[in-house]
């Protein structure tokens, strides 16, 4: 398929299995000997290679999507501990978008339903349900949704273990159109642009009037697909140019959204680093956040 990145060899399946057990132990029993060993394993993996390579394609193919899904499935525990549920990420993501999303939802009265596609282990679901909302999460990785169920036991939450594109075809037409908010935080980066456009239109149908949609895209100069190899394994992403994002915002306005102002990432950052085909790039492309309100 695509050419591979030069890097130190990936861990073997057995090593991954042991590693995932340690991470699980760190999550469940952080105070024990085993838990501490897990935390040590995480800090060692934090140094694992993290390389980004732009590909000469603008679309993800079925194989790239399959490999990405597999990586989230195999290394869900690592993803959770290293990224999603780490204290640093909980703080950063709250400041970056979650606080604004919650503020925009307004006072908790009337409709309480919030949909979170690509929910991962459920970090945002935990915080949002803690505010009194009724959360419904969707994730294609069973390891992720199993963890969400475990983390949110006893809360008012519905978990769908499914590919959102499948749900969109089979289930969306039958959903109650009464979501107060939809938060697709970092998952659109794993979908092709046509799928994103079509989901954004369907989300509009699912929202109540004044309902809020927030999603994040990956920004680059080229708008090409890219590949990342790190402790989670091999994953493929879509990136958008600013011009493509402007076009998408216009389509959203035509659909009946009001696109709301949010801070943009530094243009300088994009120009200096995220160019198609550039070798040896170590940092990941920045997010571009889009928040919108259902107007009509
Ligand atoms: C980068 S992670 C983000 C997880 C979480 N939202 C966070 O902020 O840490 C992307 C998540 O989207 C899920 N995902 C990717 N493609 C998906 C699809 N087509 N349908 C549903 N979930 C998907 C993955 O399994 C993974 O849990």
Place of tokens 């089979």: 170
Residue 13 pLDDT: 64
Q: What residue ranges line ligand 1, CB within 6 angstroms?
A: 72, 84, 117-120, 123, 138-141, 144, 163-165, 185-187, 190-191
| Residue nearest atom 27 of ligand 1, based on CA coordinates | 120
97's tokens: 């978008």
Residue 281 pLDDT: 47
| H or E segment and range at residue 286 | none
CATH architecture of 48-294: 3-Layer(aba) Sandwich (3.40)
Q: Which of 244, 165, 247, 237 is nearest to 198 (CA)?
A: 165
Contacts of residue 178, Cβ cutoff 8 Å, sequence gap at least 6: 111, 113, 208
In testing the pocket of ligand 1, which one of 83, 190, 198 has its CB within 8 Å of the most ligand atoms?
190
- Cα of 108 vs centre of ligand 1, distance in Å, is 27
Q: How many C-beta atoms surround the C-beta of residue 112 within 10 A? A: 18
- Cα of 120 vs centre of ligand 1, distance in Å, is 5
- Cα of 33 vs centre of ligand 1, distance in Å, is 32
| Residue nearest atom 25 of ligand 1, based on CA coordinates | 141
Tell me the pTM. 0.85
pLDDT tens-digit profile, the chain (296 residues): 334 434 444 456 666 677 677 777 777 777 888 777 777 776 666 545 456 777 888 899 999 999 999 999 998 988 888 788 877 788 888 888 899 999 999 888 888 999 999 999 999 999 999 999 999 999 999 999 999 998 888 888 899 999 999 999 998 888 888 999 999 988 999 999 999 999 999 999 999 999 999 999 998 888 889 888 877 888 999 999 889 999 999 999 999 999 998 766 544 445 444 444 455 444 567 888 999 999 97
Give, rounded to a whole angstrom, the gap between the first and last alpha carbons of the chain: 45
- Cα of 202 vs centre of ligand 1, distance in Å, is 18
- Cα of 121 vs centre of ligand 1, distance in Å, is 9
Contact between 128 and 104 (Cβ < 8 Å): no
Contact between 56 and 220 (Cβ < 8 Å): no
Backbone angles phi, psi at 259, to 5 degrees: -85, 125
Per-domain boundaries in the chain? 12-47, 48-294
- Cα of 186 vs centre of ligand 1, distance in Å, is 7
Contacts of residue 267, Cβ cutoff 8 Å, sequence gap at least 6: none
20's tokens: 């995932």
Residue 276 pLDDT: 44
In testing the pocket of ligand 1, which one of 66, 138, 139 has its CB within 8 Å of the most ligand atoms?
139
Strands 179-184 and 225-230, bridge-based pairing: unpaired
Contact between 128 and 152 (Cβ < 8 Å): no
Q: How many C-beta atoms surround the C-beta of residue 4 within 10 A? A: 10
């Amino acid at each position: 398929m695509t050419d591979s990145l030069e890097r130190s060899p990936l861990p073997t399946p057995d090593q991954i299995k042991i590693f995932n057990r340690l991470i699980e132990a760190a999550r469940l029993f952080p105070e024990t000997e085993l838990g501490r060993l897990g935390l040590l394993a995480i800090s060692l993996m934090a140094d694992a290679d993290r390389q980004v390579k732009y590909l000469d394609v603008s679309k993800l193919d079925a194989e790239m999507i399959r490999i990405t899904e597999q990586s989230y499935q195999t290394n869900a525990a690592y993803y959770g501990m290293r990224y999603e549920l780490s204290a640093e990420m909980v703080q950063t993501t709250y400041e970056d978008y979650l606080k604004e999303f919650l503020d925009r939802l307004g006072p908790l009265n009337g409709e309480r339903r919030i949909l979170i596609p690509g929910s991962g282990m459920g970090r945002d679901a935990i915080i949002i349900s803690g505010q009194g909302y009724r959360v419904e999460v969707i994730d294609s990785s069973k390891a992720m949704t199993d963890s969400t169920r475990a983390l949110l036991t006893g809360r008012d939450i519905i978990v769908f273990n499914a590919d959102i594109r499948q749900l969109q075809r089979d289930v969306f037409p039958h959903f109650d159109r009464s979501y107060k908010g939809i938060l697709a935080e970092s998952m659109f980066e794993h979908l092709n642009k046509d799928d994103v456009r079509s989901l954004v239109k369907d989300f509009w149908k699912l929202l109540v009037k004044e309902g809020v949609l927030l999603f994040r895209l990956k920004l680059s100069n080229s708008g090409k697909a890219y590949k990342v190899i790190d402790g989670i394994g091999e994953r493929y992403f879509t990136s958008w140019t600013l011009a493509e994002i402007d076009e998408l915002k216009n389509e959203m306005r035509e659909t009946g959204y009001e696109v709301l102002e949010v801070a943009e990432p530094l243009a300088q950052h994009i120009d200096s680093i995220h160019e198609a085909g550039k070798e040896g790039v170590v940092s990941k492309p920045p997010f571009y956040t889009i928040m919108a309100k259902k107007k009509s």
